[in-house]
Amino acid sequence: MDDNKMMEPIKKRGLFYCPYACGDKRYPRTKWKTEKGAIKHINNCLMAPDRVAAREAIELKRAQDRAANDEIALSGAKYQVGDEVKFIQKYIINPIYKRRFNRMVKVRYEDEYGFRARKQIIKTIGIINGAVCYNGFIFQKDIRVCSFGEVEDEAIKLREEHLEWLKMCSDLR
Ligand SMILES: [Zn+2]
């Protein structure tokens, strides 16, 4: 474990360099005028093998935890492939930023959303950010078990509420 602590600075023309692949490759390598300074860096270098290994172990643990959580979430999915679901789809009508030539320009303060009632047959079940997601975009919270007419009414209501909210935001400015 202490092997890297024994690593010596690389000495070249009276200057000292870190033996690990640290720093931004686009710039000249960091150098030290004194051996003491270089050793101090080496002991704290983020690219020292034991530090790299520690980060990789944490990353692996995180990935395993995520996979385990996804597995649990997936087993809690309420619908199966082949089921038809009714849902509210929220989509952006007018985004805050719009592309003008090759740059993004801020054209409004808030995204303007539309809401529509839809139904779709489930073809895929996956996990996005820990939540069950059908067909790549339908989340559990968007699914309704009432009649399609009621989903349509809700979409209209959500749109009205959103317009009121946008107006309130603009009144506050
Ligand atoms: Zn270094």
147-164 mean pLDDT: 98
Q: How far is the CA of 37 from the centre of ligand 1 (A)?
A: 11
* Per-residue pLDDT reduced to its tens digit, 58-87: 999 999 999 999 999 999 999 999 999 999
The pLDDT score that the predictor gives to residue 25 is: 87
Q: How far is the CA of 18 from the centre of ligand 1 (A)?
A: 5
Average pLDDT of every residue of the chain: 93
3-state secondary structure the chain: CHHHHHCCCEEECCEEECCCCCCCCCCCCCEECCHHHHHHHHHHCCCCHHHHHHHHHHHHHHHHHHHHHHHHHHHCCCCCCCCEEEEEEEEEEECCEEEECCEEEECCCCCEEEEEEEEEECCCEEEECCEEEECCCEEHHHEECCCHHHHHHHHHHHHHHHHHHHHHHHHHC
Residue 4 has pLDDT above 50, yes or no: no
Neighbours of ion ligand 1 (CB under 5 A): 18, 20, 22, 45
User: The whole model's pTM is what?
Assistant: 0.65
Q: How far is the CA of 71 from the centre of ligand 1 (A)?
A: 39
